[in-house]
Structure 1
Amino acid sequence: MISFLKKLFYSNDTRSNDDIQDPQHQGGDTMFCFQCEQTAKGEGCTKIGVCGKQPDVAALQDLLVYAVKGIAQVAVEGARVNVSDPAVDQFTNEAIFSTLTNVDFDPARFVTLVKDAATHRDALKAKVKAAGGNVAFADGPATFTPAADQAGMVAQGETVGIKADATVNPDILSLRELIVYGIKGLAAYADHARILGQQDDRISAYIYEAMAATLDNSLGVDDYVGLALKCGEVNMRAMELLDAGNTGTYGHPVPTPVPLGAKKGKAILVSGHDLKDLEDILKQTEGKGINVYTHGEMLPCHGYPELKKYGHFYGHYGTAWQNQAKEFDAFPGAIVMTTNCIQKPRESYQGNIFTTGLVGWPGVTHIVDKDFTPAINRSLELPGFPEDTPGKQVMVGFARNAVMGVAPTVIEAVKNKAIRHFFLVGGCDGAKPGRDYYTELVEKIPQDCVVLTLACGKFRFFDKDLGDIGGIPRLLDVGQCNDAYSAIQIAVALAGAFDCGVNDLPLSMILSWYEQKACVILLSLLHLGIRNIRLGPSLPAFITPNVLDVLVKNFNIMPIGTPDEDLKAILG
């Protein structure tokens, strides 16, 4: 297959790396970022990030990624002489996660991270050298010295970003960036798993191998395609570990109704993805007269038995991340951001919002030690909800254990034609036009079809009553984005029951993407050989036409069309 991919890339292009230059990557602006779906003009942010990222932060993030590649070079040599350091592994993972979209916007914290990267690298280098390893690296990230101050580091970062080498074949660059963005998503899931005590050294080994490989000009298309698919494979392990951490700590999710209204009283809102932070907040608010609400991707937490047991864990407030400015402005309590998804806070609520973990925004109070007293005290100072506000309820908790618990009913419904088709409609939500497609699609999916959903893409339709088929709800919320693992396990189990491959099931995947966790989930699906995925609302700007051609020819990935066109193509 690899030779076939290589042929596809170069069959119509005989230019060398030195001959090919992509105008998109030439000269001019000091900032260039195209890692998210909403990137400016569908090409790249060059003045300020659509996410709110300032040019200095963009440069510092580029420098941190560069510094991590230096650690990777040393770690690869360390593996050759049986030298490793768990502290370096953890730092590397957290540093990469910090550069994922909508995580950390605080330049001061990136200055510290870059300095720490050099310190970790040099300490590891000394250990590797003592063990007989070769640490005589040429100029590059394994040897660079961070500037003395922030301005100097910003200047350094402007020289090592995506546009740093204009002579690189754009297809090679595309694959390198795909790998880096996949690793950012992988680092997020591995970090969540580590917090819950689940680790696997093979994840760090892959990160080092792949990050170092992005510096190797001797590698070609076949090498990078292999590394990209391996990223998907390793991510399956990371999501498996996270699933084990979540379910082992909090129990398997069970179908649970979640109120969308409000309860009279003081309130605290928890957003992001981190279940451990939510548990800490629930414990620390117990008996204080504060009701705890979830926001965004925290909605599925209501299905976990060990979290839902708290009587003051009330309901869900708001929708997806991109609506937070309006929603947070109206929330009458404190807000805690546990992982990525933060946007620039409005002045009206900046004093009410708190960050923890790797999340950061300049001027926002950061909780370092998981003592959420500042957020709790602020909740007690704020008015809270003046009265009960009735609202709809939504159902969560349809992870693999719950769905497979009724597998015989599902299988029988498929066999007797009561269920004609399954649609997995989910992924990231976002503000860019075109995402109404997903709402319209779900509304038009026929009554004899079931919709599985996960991640914040569900907020386009999560509160719609689609009814049921023989007692099986037509809308099944599988969970957070990382619960793609659960969705995959459901598909694999169904394929086993019908004695066929996953691609032969009456199942269609229609996905939305925004940031890098979506990238690595896509790589996991490709690693598993899943075909016929529809992706939208737009295709990644970092994917060149040649790379896209490979994806189309080998996996039949396609952009979304209109809901009517896609439903006709899928169902006939």
Structure 2
Amino acid sequence: MYCVQCEQSNKGGCAAKMGSCGKTAQTADLQDVLLRVMQGVSVYADRAAAKGARDEVVDAFTPHAWFTTLTNVNFDEARFVSLIRRAIAMRERARLLAETAGADLSALAEPANWHPGMTPSELSAAAPFAAIQRFMDRDGPSIVGLRNLILYGLKGTAAYGEHARVLGFEDRAISAEFHRIAAFLATDPTDVDALLSHALAIGALNFQVMELLDAANTGRFGHPEPTAVRMTPRAGKCLLVSGHDMGDLEAILQQAEGTGVLVYTHGELLPANAYPGLKRYPHLAGNYGGAWQDQQKDFDAFPGAIVMTSNCLINPNLKGYADRIFTTGPVGWNGLPHLTEHDFTPAIGCALAQPGFAEDAPERTLTIGFARNTVMGVADTLLGMINKGEVKNLFLIGGCDGARPGRNYFHDLAMATPKDSLVLTLGCGKFRFNREELGDINGIPRVLDIGQCNDAYSAIRIAGAVAEALNVGVNDLPLHYAISWFEQKATAVLLTMLHLGLRRIHLGPTLPQFLTPEVLNILIDKFDIRPTGNADADLERMLQAA
């Protein structure tokens, strides 16, 4: 296998029988085949869209299929074979749609008519024709790297789109634009300017998708509000929900009602505790554990059942909880029970069969819930503090966390920020410092937890509102970015920030391997991206630019 899509990749890429994440070469090959067929789906869907035709089934399947190929989501080979079979059927469905609409079906890109076969030997033989490094010798690493920037940006955007879709929020224009960009990628383009243009188009698209997901979350569960979340367990039977999907969490809370099972969030679901529609359930007991990379320790110590709703799943067989963890949605691991149709009774039954927590732990809380509605609700107060000089700098520190050395940078930077500054944080990167005591300014906590990684939308809206009120451009604000990159959702968010023209983004702790030094120099020159270095030196540079 060859994989460079996330920071877990070995130096030079995961060129081995098994990736650092636990993905086998066979699974990696099947993912490549699936995405090549899905590009063919988009070729036809894009031609149909040009004639005003759309198929809701095709549009619904597309983000789900792409989502399954993200880092630490689905490791189940049998599921991927099934997805490939469905993708081929969807491609034919999209072809018939385009044909019926009278679309021009000449000069089609290769994935539109590529047939990988369905037997194990056929799929294995087809994999090299779908591999991301297939044209490395012909086109060179910079061109292939830019194509991968588009590929991985589409993956991240699809994930956010799927989160919105399962809550009942879809947008025809968003689907059409996704198909347009994926159809462009299907041509194996080589023009640098066109590749960069389409990468920024993904940024624009992802902003729309995050806006849609924000509407889905707030429309279903209300706007987050400042909430002191219990971070230590209570006595009783227990079920832990990890991942990102708040619709699944709601279903679990509804089905666990009256059973005596206490439900805890983990990782990126911590922000769910601030939504009125979810925290109204008294058996939502708080949060247990930290970021995704700590899950093997957290899950092993948790005396109940576990449900993984989306990325990021780590090999459960290395610890002692494989018999009490369940997957749902796009997630999968060979041998783990997979729950469908939002039926979580097996997981609840498993929780009842486990010992649970014997006693209450000493109570510790963490205040969260500072999304855009809350912060903009006190905008006058915040602007007054800025004008008076009580708040001199704003820092956005967060993103996707990981296990590699160097990520203490984000903790060290947050701890070193001046006492007259506010730290906005989101994603699992906040677990690096969110339990530290950084104090407050006039009663406003210095650390403002905005939410999940997709709540970069909230941060962007907040920054825009402050800039507008102060009658300056966003890049003229004393606002500094330190973004931890890990996987494809972070790639999509970064492209959104670049699309919006945000500059001086400190990105790290390592930069994506799929971008060559030449391409990185383009991004550095065009957008002033700055690789993270020493936290103190970077902080000094940020403050000098303010």
Shorter-normalised TM range: over 0.9
Where does residue 286 of structure 1 map in the other structure?
257
Q: Is the 8 A contact 1:67 1:142 kept in 2?
A: yes
Select 1:243's aligned residue among 187, 207, 214.
Answer: 214
Aligned pair 1:310/2:310, yes or no? no
Identify the range of structure 1 (402-411 vs 252-261) with the bigger mean alpha-carbon deviation. 402-411
Q: Which residue of 2 aligns with 1:38?
A: 8
Contact persistence 2:238–2:305 (CA under 8 A)? yes
The aligned amino acid for 2:352 is L
Deviation at 1:132, TM superposition (A): 2.8
1:128 shift after superposition: 2.2
Match of 1:140 in 2: 110
- Residue from 451, 462, 466 that aligns with 1:479: 451
Determine helix, strand or coil for the equivalent of 1:41: coil
Q: CA deviation at 1:243?
A: 0.4
Partner of 1:257: 228
Counterpart of 2:276, as a letter, is P
- Kept in 1, the 8 Å contact 2:2–2:15? The answer is yes
Distance 1:524 1:218 in 2: 22
Correspondence for 1:341: 312
Residue of structure 2 equivalent to 1:518: 490
Instruction: Output one character per residue of 1:509-544: Cα deviation in whole Å (capped at 9) or x when no partner.
Output: 100011100000000000100000000010110111
CA contact (8 A) 2:43 2:108 kept: no
SS in 2 for 1:273: coil
The answer to whether residue 82 in structure 2 is matched with residue 112 in structure 1 is: yes
Output the amino acid matched with 1:109: R
* Residue of structure 2 equivalent to 1:161: 131
CA contact (8 A) 1:72 1:212 kept: yes
User: Which residue pairs with 2:119 in the alignment?
Assistant: 149
Does the C-alpha gap of structure 1 residues 150 and 203 become closer, same or farther in structure 2, counting only changes over 3 Å? farther
- Residue pair 1:101, 1:340 contacting (<8 A) in 2 also: yes
Alignment partners' CA distance in 2, 1:151 and 1:450: 57
- Give me the whole-angstrom Cα distance separating, in 2, the residues matched to 1:209 and 1:444: 44
Taking the aligned partners of 1:392 and 1:464, their CA distance within structure 2 comes to: 12
Name 1:64's counterpart in structure 2.
34
| CA distance in 2: counterparts of 1:83 and 1:363, whole angstroms | 40
How many pairs align? 542
Letter in 2 for 1:357: G
1:365 matches 2:337: yes
Residue equivalent to 2:184: 213
Is the 8 Å Cα contact of residues 106 and 360 (structure 1) preserved in structure 2? Answer: yes
Give, in angstroms, the shift of residue 82 of structure 1. 3.0
Letter in 2 for 1:381: A
Superposed displacement of residue 202, structure 1: 1.9
Query: Could you tell me the TM-score, scaled by structure 2's length?
Result: 0.97
Query: How far 1:168 moved relative to its partner?
Result: 1.3
Task: Give the drift of 1:112.
Answer: 0.6
The one-letter code matched in structure 2 to 1:78 is A
Mean Cα deviation higher: 272-281 or 192-201: 192-201
Which one-letter code corresponds to 2:18 in the other structure? I
Alpha-carbon distance in 1 for matches of 2:118, 2:454: 39
Query: Residue 390 of structure 2 contacts residue 420 of structure 2 at CA under 8 Å; is this kept in 1?
Result: yes
**Unaligned 5+ runs, structure 1:** 1-30
Matched, 1:570 2:542: yes
One of 477, 502, 516 as aligned partner of 1:530 = 502
Verify the 8 A CA contact 1:426 1:456 in the aligned structure 2.
yes
Paired with 1:525 and 1:349, the residues of 2 have a C-alpha distance of 39
In 2, the alpha carbon distance for the partners of 1:413 and 1:262 equals: 37
Which residue of structure 2 aligns with residue 330 of structure 1?
301
SS at match of 1:175: helix
Offset of residue 93 of structure 1: 1.3
Asked if 2 retains the 8 angstrom alpha-carbon contact of 1:61 and 1:157, the reply is no
Residue 250 of structure 1: CA displacement?
Answer: 0.6
Report the counterpart of residue 86 of structure 1 in structure 2.
56
Q: Distance in 1 between matches of 2:116 and 2:443?
A: 61
Structure 1 residues 139 and 557: CA distance shift in structure 2, 3 A: closer
SS in 1 for 2:139: coil
Letter in 2 for 1:156: A
Mean Cα displacement is larger for which, 529-538 or 433-442? 433-442
CA distance in 2, matches of 1:321, 1:217: 34
The Cα of 1:151 is off from its aligned counterpart by: 3.7
How many Å separate the matches in 2 of 1:239 and 1:108?
Answer: 31
Match of 1:268 among 235, 239, 252: 239
Q: Name the SS for the 1:257 alignment partner.
A: strand
Deviations 1:365-412 (A, max 9, x none): 000111100000000000000000014211110001111111111111
Aligned alpha-carbon RMSD (Å): 1.4
Answer yes or no: is 1:504 the counterpart of 2:476.
Answer: yes
Closer, same or farther: CA 78–219 of 1 in aligned 2, 3 Å: farther
Which residue number corresponds to residue 433 of structure 2?
Answer: 461
> Equivalents in 1 of 2:12, 2:282: separation in Å?
46
2:30 is matched by which residue type in structure 1?
L
Q: Which amino acid aligns with 2:539?
A: L
Distance in structure 1 (CA, Å) of the matches to 2:94 and 2:503: 42
Which amino acid is the alignment partner of residue 492 of structure 2? V
| CA deviation after TM superposition for structure 1 residue 462, in Å | 1.2
What amino acid is aligned across from residue 255 of structure 1 in structure 2?
Answer: P
- 1:19 equivalent in structure 2: none
Change (3 A) 1:218 1:155: closer
SS of equivalent to 1:158: helix
Spell out the pairing of 1:433-452 with structure 2 (5 A cutoff): 433-452=405-424
CA 1:42–1:480: 2 relative to 1, 3 Å: farther
Q: Contact 2:109/2:187 (CA < 8 Å) preserved in 1?
A: no
Distance, in Å, in 1 between the alignment partners of 2:460 and 2:94 is 38
Give 2:73's aligned residue.
103
Q: Does 1:300 align with 2:271?
A: yes
Q: Residue 462 of structure 1 aligns to a residue in which SS? A: coil
Check the 8 A contact 2:303/2:356 in 1, yes or no.
yes
Indicate if the aligned counterparts of 1:44 and 1:541 stay in contact, CA closer than 8 A. no
Q: Which residue of 1 aligns with 2:161?
A: 190
Which whole-Å deviations, capped at 9, do the CAs of 1:56-75 have from their partners, x for residues lacking one? 00000000010011111111
User: What secondary structure sits across from 1:40 in the alignment?
Assistant: coil
Task: Report which stretch shifted further, 42-51 or 184-193.
Answer: 42-51
After superposition, the Cα gap between the structure-2 partners of 1:327 and 1:129, relative to the gap in structure 1 and judged at 3 Å, is same
Q: Distance in 1 between matches of 2:402 and 2:427?
A: 12
Q: 1:23 matched to which residue of 2? A: none
Correspondence 1:373-392 to 2 at 5 A: 373-392=345-364
Tell me if the contact between 2:305 and 2:347 (Cα under 8 Å) persists in the aligned partners: yes
| Paired letter, 1:174 | G
**Aligned letter for 1:38?**
Q
State the secondary structure of the residue aligned to 2:514.
coil
**In 2, are the aligned partners of 1:393 and 1:463 still within 8 Å (CA)?**
no
Deviation, 1:139, is 7.9
| Partner AA of 2:473 in structure 1 | G
Equivalent residue, structure 2, for 1:351: 323
Deviation at 1:138, TM superposition (A): 6.0
- Which letter maps to 2:294? N
Runs of 4 or more off by more than 3 Å in structure 1?
42-47, 134-139
CA distance in 1, matches of 2:15, 2:489: 20
Partners of 1:307 and 1:203 lie apart in 2 by 28
SS, match of residue 144 in structure 2: helix
Alignment match, 1:15 = none
Q: Quote how far apart the aligned CAs of 1:218 are.
A: 5.9
Give me the identity figure in percent: 50
Larger deviation: 165-174 or 346-355? 165-174
